[in-house]
A and B are shown apart, each in its own frame.
Chain A
Amino acid sequence: MEDLVLQTVSLLASTVRLAVPLILCALAGLFAERSGVVDIGLEGKMLAGAFAAASVAFWLQSAWAGLAAAMLVSIAFALVHGFACITHRGNQVVAGMALNVLAVGLTAVLAFAWFQEGGKTPALADAARFRPLQLPFVAEISTVPVLGTIYARLLSGHNALVYLTAALVPLVAFVVFRTRFGLRLRAVGENPHAVDTAGISVARLRYQAMLASGALCGIAGAYLSTAQSASFLREMTAGKGFLALAALIFGKWMPIPTLFACLLFAFADALQGRLQGVALPGIGVVPVQAIQALPYLLTILLLAGFVGKAHAPRASGIPYSKEK
Chain B
Amino acid sequence: MKNTALALGFAAALVAAPAFAQTAPAVMFDVGGKFDRSFNQAAFEGAERFKRETGQQYAEFEIRNTAEREQAIRNLARRGASVVVAVGFSNRAAVEIVAKEFPDVKFTLIDSVVDLPNVQSITFREHEGSFLVGMAAAMASKTAKVGFVGGMDIPLIRKFAKGYEEGAKHVNPQIDVIQNMTGTTPAAFADPTRGGELARGQFDRGVDVVYAAAGATGLGVYQAAKDANRLAIGVDSNQNHLHPGTMLTSMIKRVDVAVYNAMSDARKGTWKAGATSLGLKEEGVGYAIDANNRALVTADMERRINEARDAIIAGRLQVTDVTAQR
List the interface of chain A (C-beta within 8 A of B): 6-7, 10-11, 14, 17-18, 117-120, 123, 131-132, 224, 228-231, 233-234, 236, 238, 269-270, 273-274, 276-277, 288-289, 292
Interface set, chain B 81-97, CB cutoff 8 A to A? none
| B204 x A118 contact (CB < 8 A) | no
With known contacts A10-B204, A292-B183, A292-B184, A117–B216 Cβ distance under 8 A: no
| B223 x A229 contact (CB < 8 A) | yes
Q: How far is B65's CA from A234's CA once the two chains are assembled, in angstroms?
A: 13
| B35 x A118 contact (CB < 8 A) | yes
Task: List residues of chain A with CB within 8 A of the CB of B220.
Answer: 229
A255 to chain B, nearest CB (A): 25
Interface set, chain B 184-200, CB cutoff 8 A to A? 184, 187, 190-194, 196-198, 200
**How many pairs, one residue from A and one from B, have CB atoms within 8 Å of each other in the complex?**
70
Q: Does B59 contact A (CB under 8 A)?
A: no
Task: List residues of chain B with CB within 8 A of the CB of A7.
Answer: 204-205
Q: How far is B153's CA from A7's CA once the two chains are assembled, in angstroms?
A: 25
Q: Does B108 contact A (CB under 8 A)?
A: no
| B35 x A14 contact (CB < 8 A) | no
Pick the contact of B35 from A120, A132, A230, A269 — CB < 8 Å? A120
| A6 x B227 contact (CB < 8 A) | no
Q: How far is B64's CA from A234's CA once the two chains are assembled, in angstroms?
A: 10
With known contacts A118-B34, A119-B33, A288-B153, A273–B227 Cβ distance under 8 A: no
Pick the contact of B201 from A10, A228, A231, A234 — CB < 8 Å? A10
Pick the contact of B196 from A118, A228, A234, A270 — CB < 8 Å? A228
| B181 x A288 contact (CB < 8 A) | yes
| A238 x B191 contact (CB < 8 A) | yes
A119 to chain B, nearest CB (A): 7
Q: How far is B153's CA from A274's CA once the two chains are assembled, in angstroms?
A: 15
Q: How far is B150's CA from A235's CA once the two chains are assembled, in angstroms?
A: 21
Find the residue from A120, A273, A276, A289 having the highest chain B CB count within 10 A: A273
With known contacts A6-B204, A229-B223, A276-B181, A238–B193 Cβ distance under 8 A: yes
Q: Find the B residue at minimum CB distance from A21.
A: B193
A159 to chain B, nearest CB (A): 10
| A274 x B193 contact (CB < 8 A) | no
Task: List residues of chain A with CB within 8 A of the CB of B191.
Answer: 238
| B192 x A117 contact (CB < 8 A) | no
| Size bin of chain B's contact surface | 20 to 34
| B193 x A273 contact (CB < 8 A) | no
Pick the contact of A14 from B181, B190, B197, B219 — CB < 8 Å? B197
Task: List residues of chain A with CB within 8 A of the CB of B62.
Answer: 118
- Beyond known contacts A119-B33, A228-B193, A277-B180: 10 more, CB 8 A cutoff: A7-B205, A11-B201, A118-B33, A119-B35, A224-B193, A228-B196, A236-B192, A276-B179, A276-B181, A288-B181
Q: How far is B184's CA from A288's CA once the two chains are assembled, in angstroms?
A: 8
Q: Which 4 pairs show the lowest CB-CB distances between chains A and B?
A: A118-B35, A10-B204, A273-B198, A118-B33
Q: Find the B residue at minimum CB distance from A117.
A: B35
Q: How far is B198's CA from A120's CA once the two chains are assembled, in angstroms?
A: 21
| B180 x A273 contact (CB < 8 A) | yes
Task: List residues of chain A with CB within 8 A of the CB of B242.
Answer: 123
| A230 x B183 contact (CB < 8 A) | no
Task: List residues of chain B with CB within 8 A of the CB of A270.
Answer: 197, 201
Q: Does B178 contact A (CB under 8 A)?
A: yes
Task: List residues of chain A with CB within 8 A of the CB of B35.
Answer: 117-120
Task: List residues of chain B with CB within 8 A of the CB of A289.
Answer: 153, 184
Task: List residues of chain A with CB within 8 A of the CB of B216.
Answer: 233
Task: List residues of chain B with CB within 8 A of the CB of A123.
Answer: 219, 223, 242
With known contacts A10-B204, A118-B33, A233–B179 Cβ distance under 8 A: no
A16 to chain B, nearest CB (A): 11
A-B CB contact pairs (8 Å), 20 listed: A6-B204, A18-B197, A118-B35, A118-B62, A120-B35, A123-B223, A131-B227, A132-B227, A229-B196, A230-B223, A233-B192, A234-B190, A236-B192, A238-B191, A238-B193, A273-B198, A273-B201, A288-B153, A289-B184, A292-B184
| B205 x A233 contact (CB < 8 A) | no
Q: How far is B203's CA from A14's CA once the two chains are assembled, in angstroms?
A: 12
Task: List residues of chain A with CB within 8 A of the CB of B227.
Answer: 131-132
0 or 1 for each of B240-279: is its CB under 8 Å from A? (1 = yes): 0010000000000000000000000000000000000000
Q: Find the A residue at minimum CB distance from B32.
A: A118
Task: List residues of chain A with CB within 8 A of the CB of B181.
Answer: 276, 288
Q: How far is B191's CA from A269's CA once the two chains are assembled, in angstroms?
A: 14
Task: List residues of chain A with CB within 8 A of the CB of B194.
Answer: 273
Q: How far is B193's CA from A230's CA once the two chains are assembled, in angstroms?
A: 10
0 or 1 for each of B204-227: is its CB under 8 Å from A? (1 = yes): 110000000000100110010001
Q: How far is B201's CA from A269's CA once the two chains are assembled, in angstroms?
A: 12
A280 to chain B, nearest CB (A): 16
